[in-house]
């Protein structure tokens, strides 16, 4: 009898990997889109899950954030956009995903994400968290800084897609005070 590796049809089937990239995406930035593009290459399917976070007061409604993501990712293969409430691990399990995708910009991000990943592992041992380093040109971006720049009338071309910039400009036009001064977040 010859020695070797014998494969059955069932053992040669690839395991489909569904990953979930959760976040508030308020608004979606070029940094988020960079992580999404790279995440699609790492998984058979990537679900971008927009969170309803009661601890944050988003500038954009959930529906607006979903619309911005759909506009910015139009045509990307193997990508789904959805929403969730509650704990990320519960949403990931409900989606039958095996991976949580997270972007890391700085050491401070890593410390926070590492703590969340370990907590998630205790809550759902079958889930893995994959950290993707931000590309250098996006490593400084944050939604908070982009909103502040928009509120002060700054140039947003390097930070967000044109459709998102248009929505930001419209939001802050509505929020101007009686003397024309922008309100700060």
Q: Which residues are catalytic?
A: 32, 56, 105, 143
What CA–CA distance (Å, rounded) separates 44 from 162? 29
Q: Which residue has the tokens 């997270």?
A: 102
- Residue 159 structure tokens: 């930070």
- Angle, CA of 44, 86 and 65, to the nearest 5°: 65
CA–CA distances in Å: residue 153 to residues 17, 46, 92, 103, 145: 42, 34, 38, 27, 12
Q: Which residue has the tokens 């700085």?
A: 106
Q: Which residues contact 32 (CB under 8 A, 6 or more apart)?
A: 23, 25, 103
Nearest CA to 46 out of 101, 125, 115 is that of 101
Q: Which residues contact 75 (CB under 8 A, 6 or more apart)?
A: none
């Amino acid at each position: 009898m010859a020695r070797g590796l014998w494969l059955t049809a069932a053992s040669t089937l690839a395991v489909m990997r569904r990953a979930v990239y959760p976040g508030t995406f308020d608004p979606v930035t070029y940094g988020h889109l960079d992580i999404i593009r790279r995440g699609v290459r790492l998984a058979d399917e990537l679900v971008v899950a927009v969170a309803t976070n009661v601890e944050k007061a988003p500038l954009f409604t959930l529906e607006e954030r979903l619309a911005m993501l759909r506009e910015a990712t139009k045509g990307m293969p193997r990508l789904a956009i959805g929403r969730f409430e509650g704990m990320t691990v519960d949403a990931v399990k409900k989606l039958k995903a095996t991976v949580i995708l997270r972007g890391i910009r700085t050491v401070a991000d890593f410390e926070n994400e590492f703590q969340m990943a370990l907590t998630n592992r205790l809550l759902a041992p079958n889930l893995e968290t994959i950290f993707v380093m931000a590309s250098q040109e996006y490593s400084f971006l944050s939604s908070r800084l982009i909103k502040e720049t928009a509120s002060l009338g700054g140039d947003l071309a390097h930070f967000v897609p044109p459709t998102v910039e248009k929505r930001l400009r419209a939001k802050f036009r509505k929020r101007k005070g009686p003397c024309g001064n922008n309100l700060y977040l």
